[in-house]
Structure 1
Amino acid sequence: MTGGWRSMGRADLDAVAAISDRVHGAFTEPRGVYCERLDLYPAGCRVLERGAAVAGYLITHPWHRGAAPKLGALLGALPVPADIYYLHDIALLPAARGTGAGSEAAAFVRQQARLAGCEEIRLVAVNGAETYWRSQGFEEIMPGQEAPYGPGSYLMRGSV
């Protein structure tokens, strides 16, 4: 990844949690969730730097076709083998939107999915992000069914 994306480290977790709180509102997660994802799959965790500040983050990992991970829940371990790649979370502060950072993140996710041997990517879109993900080639899984995180959330899938 270019354009200011770099590997996430433990020193970034306070900024990640603060960005999540600001961007995701009711769909934010505790800091411990981000810490665990970083421990379980550091290759899928990135932060976006703008100047000296963190302006966004991306958390991804291999997963299975079953239910999406519950909001705010720890995983304990990643499934082996995994049959999909999961985009757990992305958040960009307003100043980072419209800069191409989202497209770079989507390209990174596709690359990571290929490296993990997965042909499908899944995510849960919240706060109107389903429109963006549709523009990136994702589609809603089982439209009209119960939303994974409640009203305003959409389980989506895309090809690698």
Structure 2
Amino acid sequence: MIRTLEPRDLPGLLAVQRACYGEGFVESAEVFARRLASPANCSLAAEQGGRIVGYLAAYRSLLGKVTPLHGDFEAVDAPDTLYVHDMAVLPACAGQGIARALLAPLLHGARSEGLRHSALVAVQGAQGYWARHGYAPWALHDTAQRQRLVGYGSDAVYMAM
């Protein structure tokens, strides 16, 4: 079942994060609690048998604005972009279409709201995955945004569609 990500889901979200990422990418419950409280938040959870098996952390933002790792979802005036900050599915549930089930309704909802773009930072070799979903590398011209991107590691790529 795909549904809105809620504060009660934080223990499950953290378990998915730990199963999917190295320590450098694990973000705290406190950070996620602040994100869920943001008026720009539109994150989703995938639930099976009463447990969180995947999530997509996203919010309404601006094209070219990078959310720093461990950063908050900052509400902006006149958002034009669905920013996909993080999507993860338990490795044991891979291949079940959970990631697509999380992404599709958010992209559809973003278009319905008039958001013209979607953007993300691809990490840990995920650039090819996101390219198959229509994202392409996007040049960041703002120095502050490039610095935020560096915080994700040397292989991080800002992508948009």
Aligned to 2:112: 115
Query: Deviation at 1:20?
Result: 1.5
Question: % of aligned pairs identical?
Answer: 28
Structure 1: runs of 5+ lacking an equivalent: none
Aligned to 2:77: 80
Tell me if structure 1 keeps the 8 A contact 2:36–2:43.
Answer: yes
Q: Distance in 1 between matches of 2:30 and 2:51?
A: 21
Count residues with an aligned counterpart. 153
Query: Deviation at 1:16?
Result: 0.9
Aligned to 1:153: 156
Using the TM superposition, name which of 23-32 and 40-49 deviates more: 40-49
Tell me if structure 2 keeps the 8 A contact 1:7–1:43.
Answer: no
Give the secondary structure class of the aligned counterpart of 2:69: coil
TM-score, with length taken from structure 1: 0.84
Using the TM superposition, name which of 23-32 and 33-42 deviates more: 33-42
Query: Deviation at 1:66?
Result: 3.6
Letter in 2 for 1:152: D
Tell me if structure 1 keeps the 8 A contact 2:55–2:102.
Answer: no
Q: Distance in 1 between matches of 2:78 and 2:148?
A: 26
Going from structure 1 to structure 2, the CA distance change for 1:48 and 1:42 (only over 3 Å counts) comes to: farther
Letter in 2 for 1:20: Q
Structure 2: runs of 5+ lacking an equivalent: 141-145
Letter in 1 for 2:153: G
Aligned to 1:65: 63
1:74-123 deviation per Cα after TM superposition (whole angstroms, max 9, x unaligned): 24x40011121111111101122211112222212211211331111001
Letter in 1 for 2:97: G
Q: Distance in 2 between matches of 1:53 and 1:157?
A: 31
Give the secondary structure class of the aligned counterpart of 1:44: coil
Query: Deviation at 1:49?
Result: 1.3
- The CA RMSD measured in Å over matched residues stands at 2.2
Aligned to 2:2: 5
Give the secondary structure class of the aligned counterpart of 1:98: coil
